[in-house]
């Protein structure tokens, strides 16, 4: 990028973005993959969300390609209204303690 800027006389007026680190308590959340993996993907899921379903397919491909090197943690995030919250609550009640996979709707 620096070479492009110099070659084309591009002046950047905004500061470079800085990646921020966050800590998320995932201890009781359903997980899939290697629990000791160096890479953790945290997916916030609304069971009624079509985009979540598409993301699940993409994450499934990542899990296949990097088998054993990544884990995915699923966090309920019911944002599409009261029905989403009811579904998430029902899923939390249905999920057995220690179950690593509690997302049947999206085929995960």
| pLDDT score recorded for residue 66 | 95
- pLDDT surpassing 70 at residue 105: no
Token pair, residue 54, equals: 């598409």
- pLDDT surpassing 80 at residue 97: no
Distance, in Å, from the CA atom of 85 to the CA atom of 47, rounded to the nearest integer, reads 9
Is the CATH number of domain 28-94 3.40.30.10? Answer: yes
pLDDT digits (tens, 9 = 90+) for 7-62: 888 888 888 888 888 888 888 788 888 989 999 999 998 988 989 888 888 998 99
Note the pTM of the prediction, 2 decimals.
0.66
């Amino acid at each position: 990028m620096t070479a492009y800027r110099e070659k084309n006389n591009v002046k950047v007026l905004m500061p470079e973005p800085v990646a921020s680190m966050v800590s998320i308590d995932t201890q009781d959340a359903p997980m899939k993959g290697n629990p000791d993996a160096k890479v953790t993907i945290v997916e916030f899921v609304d069971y009624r969300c079509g985009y979540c379903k598409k993301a699940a397919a993409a994450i499934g491909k990542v899990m296949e390609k990097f088998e054993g090197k990544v884990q995915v943690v699923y966090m309920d995030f019911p944002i599409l209204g009261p029905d989403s919250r009811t579904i998430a609550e029902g899923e939390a009640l249905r999920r057995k303690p220690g179950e690593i996979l509690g997302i049947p709707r999206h085929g995960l």
